[in-house]
C-alpha cells in the first residue's frame, strides 16, 4: 500500500521487481497477445466455415513420390469418421506397402480393387494388386483413424515412397 507521500511499501517494491514496471515491454506483450487472439479467431472462423472439414478446400492434399507414386488424401480427419486415400501406383508397380505406424493408427475398412495378396513385410503391410491394363493401377483405401494426434504415414510402391501428414481430431 502506498504511503501518503508517494513512498511504496516493501511488498509493492518486491512485486514490481518480479513483474516489472516497463510500460513499453507490457505494450509489446499486449500487441503479441492481440496478434495471438486474431490468429485464433481466424482459425476458428475458418473451421466454422468448413474450410478444414470433409470436402473443404483446405482439407484435401495431394502428394507425389519421386518415381510416380501419387496420393490424394484429407490432411484433417476425425477419429470416428472414415477417410479415403486415392493412390496411383507408379507405372509397372503392383505392390503397395503401408508402413507399420499407419497400420496401428488407421483401421482399413475397404480396399478397392481387392488385393490378390496381403502379407506382413519388414516394416509394414504389403498389398499386391492385379496389373492394370493401362500400366498404372489406382487404389482406393478407406480407413478409420483410431487415435487423435499429428501423424506421418509412409506409403511405398515400385521404388517410390511418399509421406502423408495427417491431423486426426478427437
90-147, pLDDT tens digit by residue? 888 889 999 988 888 888 889 989 999 999 988 889 999 988 776 678 899 999 999 8
Is 111 found in the same domain as 71? yes
Is 68 found in the same domain as 32? no
Give pTM, 2 decimals: 0.67
Contact 101, 152 (CB under 8 A): yes
Buried b (16+ CB within 10 A) or exposed e, 117-136: eeeeeeebbbbebeebeeee
CATH (domain of 80): 2.60.40.680
- Among residues 168, 161, 137, 167, the alpha carbon closest in space to that of 63 is found at 161
Is 73 found in the same domain as 28? no
Q: Domain tally for the chain? A: 2
Is 75 found in the same domain as 29? no
Q: What is the pLDDT of residue 144?
A: 92
Is 74 found in the same domain as 42? no
Give residue 160's domain range: 60-169
Is 69 found in the same domain as 17? no
Higher pLDDT, 66 or 78: 78
Q: What CA–CA distance (Å, rounded) separates 151 from 170?
A: 13
Locate all alpha helices (DSSP H) within the chain, ordered by sequence.
10-19, 23-48, 100-105
Amino acid at each position: 500500500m502506498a504511503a501518503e507521500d508517494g513512498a511504496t511499501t516493501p511488498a509493492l517494491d518486491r512485486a514490481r521487481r518480479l513483474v516489472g514496471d516497463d510500460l513499453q515491454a507490457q505494450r509489446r506483450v499486449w500487441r503479441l497477445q492481440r496478434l495471438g487472439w486474431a490468429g485464433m479467431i481466424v482459425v476458428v472462423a475458418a473451421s466454422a466455415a468448413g474450410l478444414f472439414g470433409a470436402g473443404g478446400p483446405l482439407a484435401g492434399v495431394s502428394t507425389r513420390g519421386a518415381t510416380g507414386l501419387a496420393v490424394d488424401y484429407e490432411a484433417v480427419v476425425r477419429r470416428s469418421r472414415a477417410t479415403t486415400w486415392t493412390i496411383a501406383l507408379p507405372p509397372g508397380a503392383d505392390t503397395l506397402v503401408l508402413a507399420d505406424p499407419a497400420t496401428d493408427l488407421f483401421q482399413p475398412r475397404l480396399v478397392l480393387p481387392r488385393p490378390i495378396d496381403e502379407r506382413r513385410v519388414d516394416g509394414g503391410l504389403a498389398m499386391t494388386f492385379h496389373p492394370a491394363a493401362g500400366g498404372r493401377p489406382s487404389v482406393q483405401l478407406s480407413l478409420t483413424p483410431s487415435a487423435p494426434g499429428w501423424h506421418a504415414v509412409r506409403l511405398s510402391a515400385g521404388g517410390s515412397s511418399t509421406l502423408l501428414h495427417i491431423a486426426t481430431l478427437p
